[in-house]
């Protein structure tokens, strides 16, 4: 049950996602290919679903958020940790040459996006489709209801807004 509700991925699993051709089965015995699952349409959220489906297949973005869900700092930062001496103290700290993102510090929107991607790419689903309700609610709150259930919007504008919010939500600068 835990794997279905909160899927986690190792770096090795993420690296093999694009090679996977094995169909998974949901609880009803229906087969599906992880990553190629339908999203429930929550009353005029088709623009949102189209953007999410597209972003779910942008490999660097997908890999970052799949590994972020594991809440293991090493999975996100990679292997390029370097010990440096802190000038303000005598202790040594580990710094990464790559991204210093800490999943615990992600915005609520970024956490919801990560969970949705992990659900889309999971081979341990209860159903062969995914409900984006939690992310849609987070989008509605973060956008001050500019994008919400029951209101149609332009996919290109939403894509631009969402990418900016994700960038800021994982610690990027404005």
pLDDT of residue 54: 96
Mean pLDDT of all residues belonging to the chain: 80
- pLDDT above 90 covers a percentage of the chain that reads 43
For residue 75, the surrounding DSSP H or E stretch is helix 73-77
Nearest to 134 by CA among 151, 155, 110, 158: 110
pTM: 0.76
Count the Cβ atoms, other than its own, within 10 Å of residue 54.
11
Q: How many helices (H) and strands (E) does the chain have?
A: 8, 6
Our CA angle for 84, 86, 92, nearest 5°, is: 55
Question: Which of the residue ranges 23-37, 74-88, 101-115, 150-164 has the most confident prediction, judged by mean pLDDT?
Answer: 150-164
Decide if pLDDT at 1 tops 70: no
Question: Between β-strands 81-85 and 92-96, what pairing exists: parallel, antiparallel or unpaired?
Answer: antiparallel
- Tens of pLDDT, residue by residue over 110-167, are 999 999 999 998 887 777 778 899 999 999 999 999 999 999 999 999 999 999 999 9
Residue count of the chain, please give it: 174
pLDDT of residue 71: 57
pLDDT of residue 103: 85
């Amino acid at each position: 049950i835990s794997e279905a509700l909160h899927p986690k991925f190792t770096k090795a699993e993420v690296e093999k996602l694009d090679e996977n051709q094995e169909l998974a089965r949901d609880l009803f015995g229906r087969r599906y290919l992880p990553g190629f699952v339908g999203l429930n349409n929550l009353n005029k959220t088709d623009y949102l679903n189209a953007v999410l489906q597209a972003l779910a297949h942008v490999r660097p973005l997908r890999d970052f958020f799949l590994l972020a869900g594991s809440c293991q700092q090493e999975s996100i930062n990679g292997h390029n940790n370097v010990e440096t001496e802190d000038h303000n103290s005598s202790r040594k700290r580990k710094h990464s040459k790559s991204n210093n993102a800490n999943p615990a510090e992600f915005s609520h929107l970024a956490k919801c996006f990560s969970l949705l991607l992990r659900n889309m790419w999971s081979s341990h689903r209860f159903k062969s489709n995914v409900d984006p309700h939690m992310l849609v609610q987070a989008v509605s709150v973060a956008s001050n209801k500019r994008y919400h259930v029951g209101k149609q919007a332009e996919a290109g504008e939403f894509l631009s807004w969402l990418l900016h919010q994700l960038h800021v939500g994982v610690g990027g600068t404005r």
